[in-house]
Structure 1
Amino acid sequence: MPLINRNLSKREILRQFEEGEISITEVFELLGEKEDLSIEKQDGEDKQLEKIMEQLDRMVGLENIKKLVLELKAFIEIQQERQRRNLKNDPIVMHMVFKGNPGTGKTTVARIFGQLFKELGLLEEGHLKEAERADLVGKYIGHTAKKTREIIEEALGGILFIDEAYALARGGEQDFGKEAIDTLVKEMEDEKDNLIVILAGYPKEMEYFLQSNPGLKSRFPIQVEFEDYSLEELIKIARLMAQQKDYNLSSSAKAKLYQQLAEVRRNVGVEEGNARTVRNLIERAIRKQALRLVDQEKVTKKDLITITREDLV
């Protein structure tokens, strides 16, 4: 891969991007090194964007998502700049599909995307509206379209996040789930300037769902894979979760937690051994610690903040 010339002017950077000589990521990197960007920004906007990016950076793993965010941010800013200069620009369509097992960070990343897209001017509010099949599908003809439109109305200005989206197609042709999909597609088009839809679910089920709805697949140009965390990454997540509550894990507690998580994956499978499992184990350990300390004659600050091996049961 050729080295990037970092002495290029902003005009030359944009020219090379337009002619396909450098990628969107490289444009973002090069423009970010310039003190005076040609892209106009409001006072404080950079700081808010920086906070959002820091929030993402603090998340364990998710390297492919972090790279994607940089590309999306750069793409949006460049397209907006091209529009301001009356150059041809691609439509900004940010509807996405998140494929991953439970506890791999899908909902958290969707919430961060809402904040990011608000700061970039794509969304008015940037909030996250979560929904599932029961929120969208009714019990009789006409009921589903009404329920789906009501959910979309609540999501306008932000992101509509539909978890286990493949459940909408489980009932076959006679099921009202198809009506929900049809209504969703229509509303996505009608509200394209102020709504982003993210469909999420297990990888295999989501792939099957999209293959069975080719028209739907074409409306979601961004496909994001959420990989399962390694056991080492899960221990990092556990430590962060504990720290957020003013607790620390002792060395022996971390070792036992590692064993517990490995056991969960052996018995149940990777899909059940992610961050959600870690959260449950940490919350249970905090309760067990309280039970251990409540009758202790003298309790020090160190006692109060330390989760020990015996608290992990």
Structure 2
Amino acid sequence: MDTQVTYKQNGQINVMFQDRNTSIAKPKPTESTSYLTNPFQNIDNQFEDFIGLDSLKDTIKEIYASIYVNQKRQEAGLKPSKQVLHMLFKGNPGTGKTTVARKLSQLFYDMNVLSKGHFIEAERADLVGEYIGHTAQKTRDLIKKAMGGVLFIDEAYSLARGGEKDFGKEAIDTLVKHMEDHHNDFILILAGYPAEMDKFLRLNPGLHSRFPIMMDFKDYSIDELMTIATQMASEREYELSKEAQWKLKNHLMRKKQDRQQSFSNGRYIRNIIEQSIRKQAIRVMQQNRFSHSELVLLTSRDITFDT
């Protein structure tokens, strides 16, 4: 399945389509996209639309600062420090793990950390083979495609579910070897539910030390979810009426009180907004009113929760 990849160069938004497991190099950034001028502000700008990720921004600034200072140390004849950037993301579905990983592939390319900056998303089936030796070859091939970019493996704990005799262990061993051998050529990001990822690390004690950067993607608060809803509607050139906002917020509060996990992330909000836009389209057609205000307004009648 093709994946849409967007990146910015010289003020222009560029769009490419690539197979999920195919590497495509982006054009090298010019001086206008370099991070030499106001680098920390540039990082803030890159993530300004992301809700609740302040610690991530701080981590990226630390990475940039380390890279920049290392260059200065080399210029001064000093030994640069090695920096391994493999990461582990822990969070429930819809908390932004994949979106952030994809964004980092572009950002690290712009920072000259990665030579290509492409993003490859994989799952267990992309690494685990059907017979002895097949898994190691599949995993090596995937890593080869990821060279110069980011390899993102969601639900990574599934590689350890089959026990000692499962081929998933072979995939883990192959990943670990290449993480050490090629740590300057690609970045591996493993992601999944917090509890399962913690268990995964306990089952494979050698893995913990190989991921110096671990990020917790917390469930969004009610206020953050409302900000996301407003942001998503605005991106589509819609507005939520006051009544619609109250209805959505009350619904989310009830969900939280019921301790229903499925609501507490951006994916659930996206589904509500998209469904509400469809409901609004039916309402507008039935009313046969197509003024600008009617076309952009999502009312409480449009907000539904059949997701």
TM-score normalized with structure 1 length: 0.82
Instruction: Report what 1:73 is aligned to.
Output: 64
Q: 1:256 aligns with which of 231, 238, 247?
A: 247
SS at match of 1:99: strand
- Structure with more of its chain in strand, by fraction: 2
The residue correspondences of 1:1-313 to structure 2 (distance < 5 A) are 42=31, 44-46=33-35, 51-267=42-258, 269-270=260-261, 272-313=263-304
SS at match of 1:257: helix
Instruction: Report what 2:16 is aligned to.
Output: none
Q: Which has the larger radius of gyration?
A: 1
Conserved? CA contact 1:127–1:159, under 8 Å: yes
Q: Give the direction of change, closer, same or farther, for the CA distance of 1:272–1:186 in structure 2 (3 Å limit).
A: farther
SS at match of 2:162: coil
1:150: how far off?
A: 2.1
Q: CA separation in 1, counterparts of 2:84 and 2:91?
A: 22
Conserved? CA contact 2:33–2:110, under 8 Å: no
Uncovered stretches (5+) of structure 1, i.e. residues with no partner: 1-40
Alpha carbon RMSD of aligned pairs, Å?
Answer: 1.9
Conserved? CA contact 1:52–1:112, under 8 Å: no
1:72: how far off?
A: 1.6
Conserved? CA contact 1:247–1:307, under 8 Å: yes
Uncovered stretches (5+) of structure 2, i.e. residues with no partner: 1-29
Q: CA separation in 1, counterparts of 2:107 and 2:76?
A: 23
Instruction: Report what 1:4 is aligned to.
Output: none
One-letter identity of the residue aligned with 1:226: F
1:227: how far off?
A: 1.2
Equivalences, count: 273
Q: CA separation in 2, counterparts of 1:172 and 1:44?
A: 47
1:242: how far off?
A: 0.7
One-letter identity of the residue aligned with 1:197: L
Conserved? CA contact 1:160–1:196, under 8 Å: yes
Q: CA separation in 1, counterparts of 2:271 and 2:42?
A: 28
1:177: how far off?
A: 0.4
Instruction: Report what 2:17 is aligned to.
Output: none
One-letter identity of the residue aligned with 1:110: A
TM-score normalized with structure 2 length: 0.83
SS at match of 2:287: coil
One-letter identity of the residue aligned with 1:135: D
Q: CA separation in 1, counterparts of 2:159 and 2:232?
A: 34
Conserved? CA contact 2:229–2:270, under 8 Å: yes
One-letter identity of the residue aligned with 1:162: I
One-letter identity of the residue aligned with 1:160: L
One-letter identity of the residue aligned with 1:258: K
One-letter identity of the residue aligned with 1:143: H
Q: CA separation in 2, counterparts of 1:224 and 1:70?
A: 14
Conserved? CA contact 2:252–2:263, under 8 Å: no
Worse overlay, 154-163 or 111-120: 111-120
Conserved? CA contact 1:228–1:271, under 8 Å: no
SS at match of 1:102: coil
Q: CA separation in 1, counterparts of 2:81 and 2:118?
A: 25
One-letter identity of the residue aligned with 1:136: L
Q: Give the direction of change, closer, same or farther, for the CA distance of 1:274–1:146 in structure 2 (3 Å limit).
A: same
One-letter identity of the residue aligned with 2:128: V
